[in-house]
Structures are given as C-alpha cells and as structure tokens.
Amino acid sequence: MTRSATSELPASPTSSSADTDHGSKTGFWTLTLGSIGVVYGDIGTSPLYALKESLHAAAAEGGHGGLTRDMVLGVVSLILWTLIIIVTIKYVLIVLRADNNGEGGTLSLIALAQRALRERGGFVVLIGMVGAALFYGDAIITPAISVLSAVEGLKLVTPAFGPYVLPLSIAILIGLFVVQSYGTARVAIFFGPITALWFLVMAFGGLSHIADDWSILAACNPVHGISFILNHGTAGLLALGAVFLAVTGAEALYADMGHFGRGPIRTAWVALVLPALALNYLGQGAMLLAHPEHLENPFFLLYPSWALLPMVLLATVATIIASQAVISGAFSITQQAMQLGLLPRMRVLRTSETERGQIYIPLVNWWLLVAVVFLVVLFKSSSALAAAYGIAVTGDMVITSCLLFIVAWKFWRWSPALAALVIAPFLLIELVFLSANALKLLHGGWVPLTIGAGLVTAMWIWRKGSHLVTEEIHRARLPLSEFMHKAEAGSIQRVPGTAVFLTGKSGDTPGALIHNVKHNRVLHAHNLILTVHTEDVPRITDGERVTVKRLSDAFSCVSVRFGFMEMPDLPRALAGAGLDAGDFSYFLTRRVLLASPDTGMPVWQDRLYIAMARISTDASRYFRIPVDRAVEIGAQISI
C-alpha cells in the first residue's frame, strides 16, 4: 500500500504553493522596483570603471599614450552594442525563457540539461561545476572592485583623502559581511528605490554632458566599434577585454528570475536600466571627446564639484547593494550545490520567515570576507582589479551559452541547426571576449582561474568521494527483505515507539539499524526506512513530497523528496504527510573516514575529501532533526 501527502495538508514554508501565494500578493510594479535593486545592482555600478578601464587599455597600447576620437567612439560603441547583444537579446529575450519551474541560474540550467539528456553525470555536471566555481570568483571580485571604485571618488573631492581609500574600503567590506547574519529582509525594501535613484542620477549625469560633443551619438553605429577592433591591433583586444566589464552582473538577470519573475525583470531593463546606462556611457564619451584629460575618473567628473561628495556617498551605497546581491547569490548557489551533491553539507540559517531567498551560510560568508579583503590588499586599486574581473564573467557566460544550446535542442525541441543558429553567434562573441580577457592573465586574470580551478577540484573530489563512500557502505549490506525476515522471525525484544533510519538506498538495511539490533538487542515496534531524494526541480509540492510504503507490521519504506533550492526539514515533511513525527527517534550513522591507497582515489584526494567531510554539517542539523530525538551510531570507513 502506498500513501502520500495530500494537497489539503498545511504547506511548508518552502512549498511552491506558498511561493505562488506570495507572488499573487506582490504587485507587478513592486516586483519591478525590487528587481532594480537586486538584479541590476551589479551591472548598475559598471559605469564607475568600465569605460575608464577600456580607454586606459586602448591608450596605453596605442603607442602615443593619449586618447583619440576613434578610440572614444569605438569603445563607447562596443559598450553600447555589448549591452544590446549580450544582455538585451541573449539574456532578456532568450535565456529568461529557460526557467526550471520558475527558477533560473547556472545550476537550474544544469538540472534542465540533465533532465533533457537523461543523465546525471559527466560533461554536463563538469561544466556546471566550472560555471558555479566562476560565479564564486565573481562573488569575490565584485565587492572588492565595486567598493574600491566608489571610495576612490573621494580623491577627487580632495587629494588628502588618498591615503584613506584602502582602509575605508576594507572597513566597509568588513561591515558588509558582519551584518550578513542579521539577514537583508529588513533593508532589502530600500534596495529598489535607492538603486532606481542611482540609475536616474546616472542618466542625468550623462545627459547633461552629451552636448559637450554631439558627435558621440555616432557611437550608436556599430561600425565604429568594429572598425576600432580591426584597426587597433593589441590595443583593440585589450580594450575589448575591459569592455566586458560593462555587462558584469548580467547573469543575475537569470539567477534571480525565481524571486521576481520574467516580466518585472524585462520591464525594469527596458524601461530604466538600459536607457540610464546608455545615456551615462554616451555622456562620459562626449565629455572625454571635449576634455581628454578627464580620463582619470570620467564618471565622477560628470558632476559639478559641489555634488562630488554626495555622488561618492550614493555610489558607495550602490556598490554595497551590488555586493549584497552577489553575496546573497553565493549563499543561494552554495545551497543548490549542496543539494545536488557538489559540496559538503554546511549550516544554512534562514534570516526571514517570509522571503524564501533570505538565507545565511556562516562558513561561506567568512571565507568570502577573507578572500575579498585579501584581493583589496593585494591589488590596492579598482584599475588593478579590473584585469582580474573579465575572465570570471566571460567564462560564466560561455558556459551558460553551452548549456542553453543543450536545453534549446533537447528540452525546447528545437532542431540542432536552429539551436546552433541562435546560440552560436552569442557563443562566438563571448569567446572573442574571453580571448581578449586572456591577454590579462598575468596581470590579475589568474585570480578567478585559480579560484575556479580550486573549487572545481574540490567539487569533483567531493562528488567522487561521496560515490565511493556510498559504494563502500552498501558493498556488503544485507538486503532489507532478508533482515526483516530474520528480525521478525527471531526473539529480538520489541520496544514501543517509532524509529527512523536514514539510508541512501531503500533496498538495503541501514547500518544504524543493524548496529542497533546487534548491540542494543532491541527492535522498535515501528521502523521507518527513510530515503531522501534531491530532484532536478527547484521545489516539490506538498502532495508529492512524501511517499510511504508499508512492508510489514514493523517496517515501512519512506521516500522524501526535496527540490534543489529547498532547505530540507525531515520532521516537517513527515508531519505534513500525516505522520506523528514529534515522537519519532532518528537513528543516524556517524562515519569516521580513513585514507587508503587501495581505493579509487589517490591518497591526497582522500585527505582532501576527509577534510571537507570534517567541516560538513552533521545530518541531524542539516535535516532539521531535533537534537534530543537523534541517536548517532559510529562506523569506520576506508576510502
């Protein structure tokens, strides 16, 4: 007999029904305003440094050390058309269609591709690991370069502020990470209005300077950008690598789709964000055509001297918001990676009772802080950090294009020719940008590659080691049917109550159950053999979450399903299925791992896996099992 949870039962906080209700109560324009703060915070701070760094690169390699009209028109044209082609056409019009039950992001795209290819390993998982690892590189560099570029505006107010830029930036960053544990739910309501004000001020600053040289409007013609690349050799390529800084944060459009919806994100981009960015870049370009000496910091010099300090303060707030968005994204992608078995379990705290995306992972937060402060101290300026930024962003976008081709071909049922015709131009453009950024490998580009390589190695070893541990656990495991026959036919003492035994394979007898009978010589009146499954969908509805199959009077198999974006809560899930989980005793196995040269991994990989396992949160905390209801039994495993 099979029994499953019904839709009439109370919904859990992570259920899709709760999400739907939340969405229905939130107005379209409220979501649109919210998306401006969260989704576009990163790309909205790019004008602080994108044009400046692009022209610095072009001028430095141009052989004469100064700006030319062709350089300014060419770089501004490249920035405008990169925003149109990569962000507007690729992400806003195409990528946002690839929703996984309303959710987006690299790991959601992996899940779609896996479902389309009907496989869970190999190439798709590997490129997904690379994409996730590059996102962490972005999450480390974004706060560093954004806050530094904003605080550097103080030097324009008065050179006396120069020595204080670095310590003030570090202080702001430390404060940003320290407050993460309090959650952003209370202050997030201000993100949208503040960032909207930021975009309006940027638009005004650019618009007020277009009249400096009306010929800047010629940059709207893509011929100027193409001509610049063809006629400037290495200078063109180096500038092209910096041009991509203008679209940093474009991945957030897709990653945050589940929080705001496709419509509000598209509306915010077309109605405010793109026009404001375009006007600001055109204004900077016109000012530089008229005053090339302003290349030192063209963004802040758009504004009169009396407005410099307020603009620095507003820019600092905007960069903090942009940094907050990418930090929250790092928490989210870590949670997804844990659910998909790519990272060890870590402690996840919910910081809001109503917002499903408001989570906090202490270990990730403090590692990010250490890495961000290290980068600030190492590079000391936003210009030096700019070289490190492009590779992470372009690499992530290339991976998105590869996964999108698979989804379009296999999931959307496009013909291979049509999928290639649509996706290949974006992939080609992004590969050109990636090649341009590769020229900066020795000048900072090694940073995201080093971070990415380390994280991919860790993810691969964790996935491989977990598979080996599972194989070792179940190698000589007694089949459940055989154990049940012996236990029920023997004279083992029965005790009242219900015991829950977690196992990774429902057909095998859990080790904790075997050891409980062997050492305690008792068997509970009711025994639930529970298996947890993480599905390739973001969330599972209550009616599909729990399935109970009665095997005998004393034994039942229970299957609990969670989506890869959910926070697993076993007692709540079981209670939602009509089971009296409050009186259950949970028996868990605490594994002691030993490195062995005789397994499928080299010893150094064994040791890295064991080190990661030691920082992993124990199963009782991860599955929200009450401490006073959990019983742990030790087991030693050689890997």
Strand partners, 560: 532, 546
The pLDDT of residue 565:
76
Return d(Cα 96, Cα 103) in angstroms, integer. Answer: 10
The pLDDT of residue 120:
57
In this prediction, what percent of the chain has a pLDDT beyond 70? 92
Return d(Cα 424, Cα 296) in angstroms, integer. Answer: 37
* pLDDT digit string, tens, across residues 220-241: 999 999 999 888 877 788 888 8
Q: Where are the alpha helices (DSSP H) in 40-122?
A: 41-44, 50-61, 69-82, 106-117
Query: Which of residues 353 and 564 earns the better pLDDT score?
Result: 564
* pLDDT digit string, tens, across residues 424-436: 999 999 998 888 8
Q: Where are the alpha helices (DSSP H) in 261-307?
A: 262-268, 274-290
CB 566 within 8 A of CB 540: yes
Packing angle between helix 308-339 and helix 28-38, nearest 10 degrees?
100
Query: Which of residues 23 and 374 earns the better pLDDT score?
Result: 374
Return d(Cα 120, Cα 182) in angstroms, integer. Answer: 36
Residue type, 409: W
* pLDDT digit string, tens, across residues 449-497: 888 899 999 999 999 888 888 887 777 677 888 888 887 777 788 889 8
Backbone angles phi, psi at 499, to 5 degrees: -110, 140
Packing angle between helix 69-82 and helix 233-243, nearest 10 degrees?
40
Burial class (CB in 10 A: 0-12, 13-18, 19+), 253: buried
The pLDDT of residue 64:
52
| Mean pLDDT lowest among 272-281, 363-372, 586-595 | 586-595
CB 245 within 8 A of CB 53: yes
For the segment 11-17, the average pLDDT, to the nearest whole number, is: 33
Query: Which of residues 128 and 259 earns the better pLDDT score?
Result: 128
Count of C-beta atoms within a 10 Å radius of residue 446: 15
Topology adopted by domain 39-463: Amino acid/polyamine transporter I (1.20.1740)
In this prediction, what percent of the chain has a pLDDT beyond 90? 29
For the segment 571-598, the average pLDDT, to the nearest whole number, is: 84
* pLDDT digit string, tens, across residues 515-564: 888 888 888 989 999 999 888 777 888 888 999 999 888 899 999 999 87
Residue 6 has pLDDT above 70, yes or no: no
Q: Where are the alpha helices (DSSP H) in 553-618?
A: 570-576, 603-615
HSE-up (13 A, CA, CB side) for residue 286: 22
How is the chain split into domains, by residue range?
A: 39-463, 476-638
* pLDDT digit string, tens, across residues 165-201: 899 999 999 998 988 887 665 566 778 899 999 999 9
The pLDDT of residue 311:
92
For the segment 601-614, the average pLDDT, to the nearest whole number, is: 89
The pLDDT of residue 25:
42
Angle at Cα 457 formed by Cα 453 and Cα 459, nearest 5°? 115
* pLDDT digit string, tens, across residues 37-84: 888 988 998 999 899 988 988 877 655 557 889 999 999 999 999 999
Question: Residue 262: pLDDT band by 50, 70, 90 thresholds?
Answer: confident
The pLDDT of residue 11:
31
Structure tokens at 250: 């474009």
**Closest to 379 in 3D by CA, of 626, 161, 120, 170:** 170
Residue with tokens 């918001």, as numbered in its chain: 321
Strand pairing class (493-502; 522-535): parallel
Structure tokens at 510: 């859990």
The pLDDT of residue 9:
26
CB 70 within 8 A of CB 231: yes
The pLDDT of residue 324:
81
Residue 512 has pLDDT above 70, yes or no: yes
* pLDDT digit string, tens, across residues 137-168: 888 888 888 888 888 888 887 788 888 889 99
What does pLDDT average to over the chain? 83
Q: Taken in order 107, 109, 112, 113, is the CA torsion positive or negative? A: negative
Phi-psi domain of 236 (left: phi exceeds 0; alpha: psi -120 through 50; beta: other) = alpha
CB 539 within 8 A of CB 511: no
CB 537 within 8 A of CB 563: yes
* pLDDT digit string, tens, across residues 291-314: 998 988 899 999 998 998 999 999
For the segment 344-372, the average pLDDT, to the nearest whole number, is: 80
Query: Which of residues 497 and 13 earns the better pLDDT score?
Result: 497
